[in-house]
């Protein structure tokens, strides 16, 4: 499945906005970094992004 450049840019903007919102709401940056790393590791291991995350996936 080909991904258009504008879809990548839109996803990037959405992620940036979410991260800023979390930081502005008091979530420490170190927590956000940890979450991103954990999810990246899970996705890399699975080879895809689960459409639902559950405790057994983590």
- 31-58 confidence digits (pLDDT tens): 999 999 999 999 999 999 988 877 655 5
Query: Given this model, what pLDDT does residue 46 score?
Result: 93
Q: Is residue 2 scored above 80 in pLDDT? A: no
Q: What is the per-residue burial (b if ≥16 Cβ within 10 Å, else e) of 22-51?
A: eeeeeeeeeeeeeeeeeeeeeeeeeeeeee
Which pair of tokens denotes residue 50? 């689960």
Residue 57's contacts (CB-CB under 8 Å, 6 or more residues apart) are 42, 46, 50
Question: Chain-wide mean pLDDT for the chain?
Answer: 90
Residue 57 carries which DSSP code?
Answer: G
pTM of the model: 0.74
Q: Is residue 6 scored above 60 in pLDDT? A: yes
Residue holding tokens 């959405």? 14
């Amino acid at each position: 499945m080909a991904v258009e450049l504008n879809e990548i840019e839109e996803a990037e903007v959405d992620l940036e906005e979410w991260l800023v919102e979390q930081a502005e709401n008091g979530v420490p940056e170190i927590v956000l970094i940890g979450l991103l790393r954990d999810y990246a590791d899970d996705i890399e291991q699975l080879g895809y992004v689960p459409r639902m995350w559950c405790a057994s996936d983590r």
